[in-house]
Copies of this chain bind each other. A is one copy, B any other.
Amino acid sequence: MTHLFRAARQNRIFQDVVEQIQEAIIDGQLKVGDRLPAERDLKEMLQTSRSTLREALRVLEQKGLIEIKLGMGGGAVVKKVTSDLVAESLDLLIRSNQVSLKHIAEFRERVEGDVVWLATSRLTKSDIDELEKLLDDSRQCLARGVEGVPDFLTADQHIHQYFAKITGNPIYISLFKTIHNNIRRYFDELLFKEESEMRENLQDLESVVAAMKKGDADTACKIVRTHVRRFNDYMEIREQQRKAG
């Protein structure tokens, strides 16, 4: 019954407005794409002032529930809830040093294994085709040498996120999206200074896909964990080198 995050302060009218609109969205009374009435109309319905209403709209906007456009025909439109806000808040945590690279690395090491384990039993023919295609993209980036590193990292990210997609579980999907978007900056800084590392990375992923195709979930899980751990170690070493000078 603990209504998570609900400030107990009832003296703030804009909070009530936020809650009313949020509930309407979550309950489905307001659907994605629906347009809220204009501020001057909405304030009448809610019997409040425009400033108070606007403070509520700012909160809803920040929550990612609505998007506000300017000009005639503009206004507040109900947005599809995405993992963007999760990613943004994680980003805040990381930047204020509450979550370290080490925490993410540790989490990835376990969860990436879980994901390929699950994905293995749900692999379809078209998934295999897509994975092969993504692996091929990686190979082409690798062939371009150091110059191809940024694209290689992107391809790598796509493969990992595709693993999550195969599970069909939106929790894994949004989690991976968040994690990989936040970890990318470290990759850019710390990873793949040598071509051999890229090659090693690609070989790992090829082995994982091969094991998945054979239906060997445990092996796929094991390889991917080792894979993640190895690159976590690389990053840690590089980070220490950087700190040392």
What is the bound-complex CA distance between A54 and B58, given in angstroms?
A: 10
Do A174 and B59 contact each other (CB < 8 Å), given the known contacts A83-B98, A169-B107? no
- Name A50's closest neighbour in chain B (CB-CB): B51
Tally of this chain's copies: 2
| Cβ-defined contact, A171 with B107, below 8 A | yes
Judged by DSSP, the binding face of A is helix
**A88 at the binding interface (Cβ < 8 Å):** yes
What is the bound-complex CA distance between A25 and B4, given in angstroms?
A: 25
Give the shortest distance, in Å, between A40 (CB) and chain B (any CB).
15
Contact of A59 among B11, B58, B87, B91 (CB under 8 A): B58
A63, A81, A89 interface centre (most CB from chain B within 10 Å): A89
| Cβ-defined contact, B26 with A98, below 8 A | no
What is the bound-complex CA distance between A112 and B20, given in angstroms?
A: 35
Contact of A96 among B26, B92, B95 (CB under 8 A): B26
What is the bound-complex CA distance between A200 and B94, given in angstroms?
A: 37
| Cβ-defined contact, A25 with B103, below 8 A | no
**A215 at the binding interface (Cβ < 8 Å):** no
